[in-house]
């Protein structure tokens, strides 16, 4: 596994654990539309914001897109993480300089990115994906760091043309990069710009990269009925013939025998349209099973080279998943065959291209859109809405949570609302923007205009009206930490806020969104019930002494037949009673994990 070392790495490897859990404070005056939509814009340092989001969203975010500083030397970004390290403290609040002048510029960038990626990894769902925009300045370092942090994911670098050219050092830079961090079985959704022409989801069953000597269990005849072109059955594989002793020669000498077919059938062997022998992608049992399910398509072979009279296709596992989750419409079966028929949403391409050259992805498109939205120049070099929409279109489904912790002008939030209008989805976005002025005057204002509608910027002053997309978002600020410097629960913390933290810190998973939290039983996990005695809440009313575990309080608690962990200010029950009731008592605040 590749690793990367730099100045300050040891100091930041666990820095994300030192960040306090902060509260989120809503500001409805800066929110818009439906504030209960689940969309959030958080203003504040994204390292602290990501930590604050963990108790609510850990393992729930399906798609993460970020556009961090490229570290070009011209961005005037500063390293501001308060890491307890002498060399890093010397960097604080100083602008990172250009190449040749600042010899630690790459170290600073890596120290900034590392803890943020650690927290993003915790927020990401098991089947989720991360996409990072980056330029040549840091792409090589970022690739290695991602491979170190995400060893169970595939890391792929995609080149995207974002301009007509920027001369520098004798080269004309026309592109940037997208680092994709995805599961190894990643199958993108159909794309608009980069997926090619619409085509059938079926793919050829021949696997040309392997031979009968390498996979003898996948070298077998398939018998087709000549009367209707349906599947009649399969013959023995080369491996079965060797096992039974019906073939004793060398593997490479085995001949595909077309005369094996019975009356009224023909034999089809794994041969490409160029006439090269290979193997089938599926073993016989899987082929027969998939035929019954409609996942196999048989049609006349148009190749003049191959001896096969029929061509056989199958549905890859990625397409089958789309059928199961209803993102690919099945409208019936072909006449006289179990083979599935599909609606208009045919696959447009089952792979994401590693080179993207659409002019719609140029940064100038993003600049033009921002100018139209605000009727003035207000933000430099925002990403193209079409590019971000294409990325999210590929990696998100209708009900996913999408996170952007370097939100800038809010293109990601805009793209989410566009996609929801496009397919009737209910995606939710979480945006984080560090600078208060940008968050209020650009990000929030852009989202407001997208929700409510706006008039475009035109030179003659008569712009076009653009209809609002609806929906809404809630504006949040980072408030005080949940705990003070002495580890005590900060005054003003609500039962619900502490409940979310306690459950997450104990189990590593967030509470369900629909948790009512109107009793001390805040949730169960793996058979264990978790109770919180705080602010005197017992059922529908507040009672004196409700924060102390007594016999009376225990009787009032919701019942659970199994282990119980109860948090409270103090305990009045004996050790024998706790053991009898299968209770572990933990005292507030001393036994609440704070990091």
Q: What are the pLDDT digits (tens) for 397-447?
A: 999 999 999 999 999 999 999 999 988 899 999 999 999 999 999 999 999
Q: What is the largest CA-CA distance in the chain?
A: 90
Q: What is the pLDDT of residue 192?
A: 78
User: Has residue 148 got a pLDDT over 90?
Assistant: yes
Handedness of CA 43, 45, 46, 50 (dihedral sign): negative
pLDDT over threshold 80, residue 309 = yes
For residue range 63-93, list pLDDT tens digits in order: 999 999 999 888 888 998 988 888 888 898 8
CB-based contacts of 210, cutoff 8 Å, min separation 6: 218, 278, 279
Summarize the confidence of residues 310-317 as an average pLDDT: 92
Bond prior to 589 in cis (omega within 30° of 0): yes
Q: Which residue has the higher pLDDT, 554 or 593?
A: 554
CB atoms under 10 Å from CB of 95, counted, come to 12
Q: How far apart are CA 401 and CA 407, in angstroms?
A: 15
Helix axes 411-423, 444-452, angle to 10 degrees: 20
Return all residues near 401 (Cβ < 8 A) that are at least 6 apart: 38, 57, 60, 61, 62, 63, 427, 428, 429, 430
Band (287; pLDDT cuts 50, 70, 90):
very high
As a whole number, mean pLDDT of residues 331-356 equals 81
- CB within 8 Å of 339: residues ≥ 6 apart: 294, 296, 297, 298, 333
Closest of 477, 504, 501, 481 to residue 491, by C-alpha: 481
Least confident interval from 146-155, 209-218, 235-244, 534-543: 534-543
User: Quick one: pLDDT at residue 529?
Assistant: 95
pLDDT score of 486: 80
pLDDT surpassing 60 at residue 540 = no
Band of the pLDDT at 168, cuts 50, 70, 90?
Answer: confident
Closest CA to 340 of 200, 153, 434, 235: 200
Q: Would you state the pLDDT for residue 344?
A: 66
Is the pLDDT confidence value at 581 over 70? yes
Task: Kindly state the average pLDDT of the residues 488-499.
Answer: 89
- pLDDT tier, 1 (very low <50, low <70, confident <90, very high otherwise): low
Question: What is the number of other CB atoms lying within 10 angstroms of the CB of residue 453?
Answer: 13
Burial of 431 (0-12, 13-18, 19+ CB in 10 A): buried
Mean pLDDT of 137-151: 96
d(CA 233, CA 214) in angstroms, rounded, equals: 24
Evaluate the CA torsion angle 132, 138, 140, 145 in order and state its sign.
negative
Give me the pLDDT at residue 365, please. Answer: 92
Residue with tokens 């594989």: 237
- Of 83-87, 180-184, 214-218, 386-390, minimum mean pLDDT range: 83-87
How confident is the model over 487-499, as a mean pLDDT? 88
Nearest to 274 by CA among 187, 206, 341: 206
Split at pLDDT 50, 70, 90, the class of 594 is confident
> Across the strands, what pairs with 567?
532, 586
Query: What are the pLDDT digits (tens) for 54-64?
Result: 999 999 999 99
pLDDT given for residue 381 in this prediction: 85
For residue 197, the model assigns a pLDDT of 54
Minimum mean pLDDT range among 20-24, 146-150, 183-187, 376-380: 376-380
Asked whether 352 and 396 are in contact (CB, 8 A), the reply is no
Arithmetic mean of pLDDT, 301-329: 86
Model confidence at 149: pLDDT above 70:
yes
Cβ atoms of 436 and 53 closer than 8 Å: no
Looking at per-residue pLDDT, the higher value among 536 and 498 belongs to 498
pLDDT at res. 123: 96
**Crossing angle, helix 105-123 and helix 139-149, to 10 degrees?**
40
Beta carbons of 269 and 231 less than 8 angstroms apart: no
250 pLDDT band, cuts 50/70/90, is very high
pTM for this model (two decimals) = 0.76
DSSP character at residue 303: -
| pLDDT reported for residue 74 | 85
> How much is the average pLDDT of 383-390?
95
Distance CA 540, CA 549 (A): 18
Is a pLDDT exceeding 60 seen at residue 541?
no
Q: What is the CATH number of domain 9-196+351-478?
A: 3.40.50.150
Alpha carbon of residue 148 to chain centroid? 18
Q: Residue 345 has what pLDDT?
A: 57
Residue 232 confidence (pLDDT) above 60: yes
pLDDT band at 167 (very low <50, low <70, confident <90, very high): confident
How would DSSP label each residue in 17-49?
Answer: HHSPPEEEEE-GGG-EE-TTSS-EEEES-HHHH
Query: In 3-state terms, what secondary structure has residue 406?
Result: coil
pLDDT at 508 over 70: yes
Q: Is the pLDDT of residue 305 over 90?
A: no
Range in 382-386, 425-429, 465-469 with the lowest mean pLDDT: 465-469
Question: Is residue 133 very low, low, confident or very high in pLDDT (cuts 50, 70, 90)?
Answer: very high
Pick from 209-213, 426-430, 456-460, 544-548: least confident:
456-460
Report the C-alpha gap between 570 and 559 in whole angstroms.
20
pLDDT reported for residue 93: 85
Q: Work out the mean pLDDT of the chain and round it to a whole number.
A: 90
pLDDT value for 526 = 93
How far apart (Å, rounded) are the C-alpha atoms in residues 223 and 110?
59
DSSP H helical ranges for 124-259? 139-149, 238-244
Q: Please report, for the chain, the start and end positions of each structural domain, with discontinuous segments joined by +.
A: 9-196+351-478, 203-342, 482-587
Q: SS3 string of 544-571?
A: CCCCEECHHHHHHCCCCCCCEEEEECEE
Q: Which residue has the higher pLDDT, 324 or 198?
A: 324
Distances 536 to 23, 198, 213, 557, 568 between C-alpha atoms, Å: 21, 61, 73, 12, 10
156: confidence class by pLDDT, cuts 50, 70, 90: very high
């Amino acid at each position: 596994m590749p690793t990367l070392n730099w100045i300050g790495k040891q100091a930041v490897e666990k820095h994300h654990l030192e960040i306090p859990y902060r509260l989120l404070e809503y500001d409805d005056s800066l929110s818009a539309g439906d504030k209960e939509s689940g969309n959030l814009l958080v203003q504040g340092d994204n390292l602290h914001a990501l930590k604050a989001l963990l108790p609510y969203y850990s393992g729930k975010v399906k798609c993460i897109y970020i556009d961090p500083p490229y570290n070009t030397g011209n961005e005037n970004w500063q390293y501001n993480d308060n890491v307890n390290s002498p060399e890093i403290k010397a960097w604080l609040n100083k602008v990172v300089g250009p190449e040749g002048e600042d010899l630690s510029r790459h170290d600073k960038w890596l120290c900034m990115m590392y803890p943020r990626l650690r927290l993003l990894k915790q927020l990401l769902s098991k089947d989720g994906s991360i996409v990072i925009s980056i330029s040549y300045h840091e792409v090589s370092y970022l690739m290695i760091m991602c491979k170190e942090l995400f060893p169970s994911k595939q890391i792929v670098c995609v080149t995207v043309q974002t301009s007509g050219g920027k001369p520098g050092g004798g080269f004309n830079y026309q592109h940037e990069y997208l680092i994709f961090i995805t599961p190894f079985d990643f199958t993108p959704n159909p794309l608009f710009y980069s997926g090619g022409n619409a085509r059938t989801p079926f793919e050829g069953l021949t696997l040309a990269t392997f031979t009968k000597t390498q996979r003898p269990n996948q070298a077998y005849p398939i018998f087709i009925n000549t009367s209707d072109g349906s599947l009649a059955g399969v013959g023995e594989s080369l491996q079965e013939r060797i096992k039974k002793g019906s073939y004793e020669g060398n593997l490479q000498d085995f001949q595909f025998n077309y005369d094996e077919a019975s009356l009224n059938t023909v034999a089809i062997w794994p041969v490409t349209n160029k006439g090269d022998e290979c193997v089938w992608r599926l073993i016989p049992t899987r082929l027969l099973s998939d035929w019954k399910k409609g996942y196999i398509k048989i049609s006349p072979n148009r190749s003049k080279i191959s001896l096969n009279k029929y061509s056989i296709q199958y549905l890859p596992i990625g397409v089958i998943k789309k059928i199961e989750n209803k993102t690919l419409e099945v409208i019936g079966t072909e006449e006289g065959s179990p083979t599935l028929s599909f609606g208009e949403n045919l696959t447009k391409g089952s792979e994401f291209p590693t080179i993207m050259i659409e002019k719609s992805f140029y940064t100038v498109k993003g600049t033009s859109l921002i100018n139209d939205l605000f009727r003035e120049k207000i933000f430099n070099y925002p990403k193209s809405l079409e590019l971000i929409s294409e990325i999210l279109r590929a990696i998100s489904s209708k009900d996913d949570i999408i996170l952007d912790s370097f939100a800038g002008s809010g293109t990601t939030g805009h793209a989410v609302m566009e996609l929801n209008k496009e397919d009737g989805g209910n995606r939710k976005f979480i945006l984080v923007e560090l600078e208060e002025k940008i968050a209020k005057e650009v990000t929030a204002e852009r989202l407001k205009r997208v929700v409510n509608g706006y008039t475009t910027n035109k030179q003659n002053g008569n712009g076009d009206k653009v209809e609002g997309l609806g929906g809404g978002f809630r504006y949040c600020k980072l408030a005080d930490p949940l705990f003070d410097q002495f580890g005590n629960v900060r005054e003003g913390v609500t039962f619900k806020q502490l409940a979310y933290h306690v459950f997450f810190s104990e189990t590593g998973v967030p509470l369900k969104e629909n948790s009512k939290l109107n009793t001390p039983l805040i949730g169960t996990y793996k058979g264990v019930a978790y109770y919180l005695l705080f602010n005197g809440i017992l059922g529908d009313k507040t009672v004196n002494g409700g924060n102390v575990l007594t016999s009376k309080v225990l009787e009032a608690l919701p019942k659970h037949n199994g282990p119980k962990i109860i948090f409270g200010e103090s305990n009045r029950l004996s050790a024998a009673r706790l053991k009898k009731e299968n209770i572990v008592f933990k005292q507030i605040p001393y036994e609440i994990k704070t990091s």
